[in-house]
Every structure is written in C-alpha cells, then in structure tokens.
C-alpha cells in the first residue's frame, strides 16, 4: 500500500516538474484514487485509536 502511495507521489512530482509552471497535474487513475482514499481512512482510524 505504502509503495503505491510513494509511486503516486513520485509521479505527481514528476508531472509538476515536467510542467514547469508549478501546477501539479493530477494523473491518478480511479483505482489509485480509491487506494489513496482507503489508506487515508486507515491512517485516520489508527490516529483515532492512538489518541
């Protein structure tokens, strides 16, 4: 899961760098977007448990 997250971040940074305007173009597929959303919910749940 985290590996996919890192790959998504690298891709976003690469897109921003290639664009040159400083605007990050989101090129996430629906599948990646769902994975990121699931990871975010999971992280939020862990934070609530820890707190």
Q: Who's near 35: CB < 8 A, 6+ residues apart?
A: 1, 4, 5
Prediction pTM value? 0.41
Per-residue model confidence (pLDDT) at position 15 = 56
Residues 4-50 pLDDT 10s = 556 666 665 655 555 555 555 555 567 777 888 888 899 899 888 88
Q: Can you tell me which residue has the tokens 């919910």?
A: 41
CA-wise closest residue to 5 among 30, 35, 27: 35
Per-residue model confidence (pLDDT) at position 33 = 77
> Domain range holding 46?
2-50
Total domains in the chain come to 1
């Amino acid at each position: 899961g985290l590996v996919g997250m890192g790959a998504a971040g690298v891709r976003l940074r690469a897109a921003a760098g290639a664009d040159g305007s400083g605007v990050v173009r989101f090129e996430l597929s629906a599948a990646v977007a769902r994975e990121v959303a699931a990871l975010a919910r999971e992280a939020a749940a862990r934070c609530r448990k820890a707190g």
